[in-house]
Amino acid sequence: MNKVLDDGLVILLLLASVAYALSSLGPKGLRRRLWSALARAAARAPAGWHMAGLARRLDQAAADKSASACGGCDNCGDGGENSEGGDSEGGEQTNTTSEIRVPLAKIGRRRQLTRR
């Protein structure tokens, strides 16, 4: 009995990891279909399981994921001319991929602990 339970749990965890990999790394169309299928499955669940709220959230997630262009910052899917992270009103543009630069002189060395 324990071997069957162990094998079942391992299979369940493997399926969960494959589903996570597909949802985060898979093609956009596949991701949207996956979220939609999960929403339909949750909507078909018996009323006693109280899955209606989860079905609505999954359906909304599928709609949100299909609306955004890259799935990253939710800023480039609106089709604006400043989709690189700039201000849409023509003001100052900000670069979202800028690096933080720290002068080399500000970087201190760790003190070496000496044993006595």
CA torsion through residues 80, 82, 84, 87, sign: negative
Cβ(35)–Cβ(65) below 8 Å: yes
Q: How high is the pLDDT of residue 95? A: 52
pLDDT band, very low/low/confident/very high, at 78 (cuts 50, 70, 90): low
Q: How high is the pLDDT of residue 96? A: 58
What is the C-alpha separation between 85 and 95, in angstroms, rounded? Answer: 6
The runs of H, that is alpha helices, within 27-94 are 28-43, 52-67
State the greatest distance between any 2 C-alpha atoms of the chain, in Å, as a whole number.
Answer: 70
Q: How high is the pLDDT of residue 41? A: 92
Q: CA distances (Å), 76 to each of 31, 73, 85, 98, 105, in order?
A: 19, 7, 8, 17, 38
The torsion defined by the Cα of 71, 74, 76 and 77, in degrees rounded to 10, comes to 80
pLDDT band, very low/low/confident/very high, at 82 (cuts 50, 70, 90): very low
What is the C-alpha separation between 67 and 28, in angstroms, rounded? Answer: 11
